[in-house]
Amino acid sequence: MYTGPKTLPAIIEARATQEPDRPLVRFEDDVLTGAQLYENALRVANALTALGLKPGDKCALMLDNGREAIEAWFGMTCAGIVEVPINTAFKGDLLTYMLEQAECRAIIVRADLAERVEVDIPILVVGDSYDAALAAARTEPTGHVAAAHDPSVILFTSGTTGPSKGVVLSHNANFRLCQNVSEIMGYERDEVLFTAFPLFHVNAKYTTVLPALYVGGEVVMRPRFSASRFWDICREEGVTAFNFMGALLMMLHKQPPKPGDRDHLVRKAYGAPAPVTIFEAFEERFGVKLVEVYGSTELGTATGNTVHESKVGSCGVPAPHYEVEIHDADDNVVPPGTEGEICVRPKEPDVMIQEYYRMPEATLKAFRNLWFHTGDRGRMDADGRFYFVDRMKDAIRRRGENISSWEVEKSIDAHDAVQEAAVIGVPSELTEEEVLAVVVLKPGHELTPEALLDHCQQRMAHFAVPRFVRFADELPKNPSQRIEKFKLRELGLTGAWDRDEHGYVVQR
């Protein structure tokens, strides 16, 4: 168990010193050892410093899972540079907005994505200028010593009534999440953790890679999840635990049963949501204990079950570093069993979001009455266990990705033929949601759903492109002209065009 300073540079230095040649991350055709990670992280740190970046400056990272993404992540922190991970699906205005909002001074990017960068900052292209910069860089420490409360990362999370917000987290917050996950999962030395979640989200970074460093384990990482290959990989790689989201469990569960379903070393899995409909059947069939939690980018894990004690359908009890309550609209605590907003506040310093970067008003709104308001609806039972019900805020969640209806609407509204649009989430058969766009055309204009989606593909991440489109004469509105989305939700998919049904494929 790692007991050194709670900073990202310190923990990789420790691994490089103590077990230099042991694999830390095993990719499909590559292995990253502790020594390699530390050396290359220092190269990244020195290369960025040579570019003129200073401690506290921000640098974007737009990469798929691979050794570069891990080296660059830790490397920036070795120079005190704050990492800004960007979803590789982003493009256009949204990408520009994020780079500008986070004040990124440089970006490290996958070669084929480089042309999407429309901001005038140094672009380090993996396989090209990035490699050259690293090759030329020194491998000594930069001299910067990070403090645990220093920001390590700004992660964008989709806004609900406005643009995406950059969540500022400290090294300490990263560690507290990692410690909590390691505790509730009972991770021990030599644990082998599988993830196919992207490194531009909190999950893979702080609940897989960091725990492996923390307990002295290893990571098996893939760029993409494959339901058909999953158990083979686990067997071949000796995986002992993995992270899930609802769709992942559903996809595994839908695979035809095989005699070898329990023939592996996997004993436990961490994530959310764990669909009640298949929970016990899944555990029984695969011999895996599911540990469901509730969390967010801002908080990390706020409540959790543990590998020893859990209740199906519940997301567990508050993490030791948090107080969790259910509040009504006036912030009064509601009685057990009553639904309300899940509100959280820290019992320790620097364990959660410091602020939404350069959005103090939005931060204060979320912090009102000195509670963090999650925007999620839930309830607590008489035993103090928590249950996630749904999102109160107008955000959509599809296969683990948060989608801002506001941002999708803004993109659709930009089409010449469109008068206005409303975007909502509709239940998905894979848990979570799919995107439905309800569109009103300008008088005298025509538009096919395919043409609309072509337009969308140019402007938004592939996962945000609506699956369902419905054209309407008008949108339901209240007297103050706000769109009444609850009425659209009640109507659901009635009369909606389904791109899956029509064989329309969205390019990644």
CB of 162 to another protein, least distance (A): 15
Say how many residues make up the chain. Answer: 508
Is 194 one of the binding residues for another protein (CB under 8 A)?
no
Is 357 one of the binding residues for another protein (CB under 8 A)?
no
What value, to the nearest 5°, has the Cα angle with vertex 423 and ends 422 and 428? 150
- Residue from 20, 141, 313, 346 that binds another protein (CB under 8 A)? 346
Is 348 one of the binding residues for another protein (CB under 8 A)?
yes
Distance CA 37, CA 74 (A): 8
Distance CA 285, CA 59 (A): 44
Applying the rule CB under 8 A, the residues between 125 and 154 that interact with another protein are: 149
Is 345 one of the binding residues for another protein (CB under 8 A)?
yes
Count of beta carbons in the 10 Å neighbourhood of residue 323:
13
Is 375 one of the binding residues for another protein (CB under 8 A)?
no
**Within a 13 Å sphere around the CA of 339, how many CA atoms are in the beta-carbon half?**
10
Q: Does residue 273 have a cis peptide bond before it, meaning omega lies within 30 degrees of 0?
A: yes
- Residue from 367, 472, 476, 498 that binds another protein (CB under 8 A)? 367
CB of 387 to another protein, least distance (A): 23
Place of tokens 């440089």: 106
Stretch that binds another protein, among 195-203, 361-369, 376-384, 424-432 (CB under 8 A): 361-369
CB of 469 to another protein, least distance (A): 39
Burial 58-87 (b: 16+ CB within 10 A, else e): bbbbbbebbbbbbbbbbbbbbbbbbbbbbb
Give the max Cα distance, the chain.
71
**Main-chain phi, psi angles of 317, to 5 degrees:** -115, 160
Is 52 one of the binding residues for another protein (CB under 8 A)?
no
User: Which positions from 324 to 343 touch another protein by CB under 8 A, shown as an x/- string?
Assistant: ---x--xxx-----------
What distances in angstroms separate CA 59 from CA 36, 106, 121, 508, one per listed residue?
Answer: 22, 5, 10, 24
Stretch that binds another protein, among 45-53, 109-117, 181-189, 350-358 (CB under 8 A): 350-358
If you ran DSSP here, which 8-state letter would residue 332 be given? Answer: P
Strand partners, 58: 82, 104
User: Which positions from 86 to 125 touch another protein by CB under 8 A, shown as an x/- string?
Assistant: ----------------------------------------
- Residue from 54, 368, 489, 502 that binds another protein (CB under 8 A)? 368
**Main-chain phi, psi angles of 98, to 5 degrees:** -65, -45
Is 161 one of the binding residues for another protein (CB under 8 A)?
no
Contacts with another protein by CB under 8 A lie at 149, 327, 330-332, 345-346, 348-350, 354-355, 360-361, 363-364, 367-372
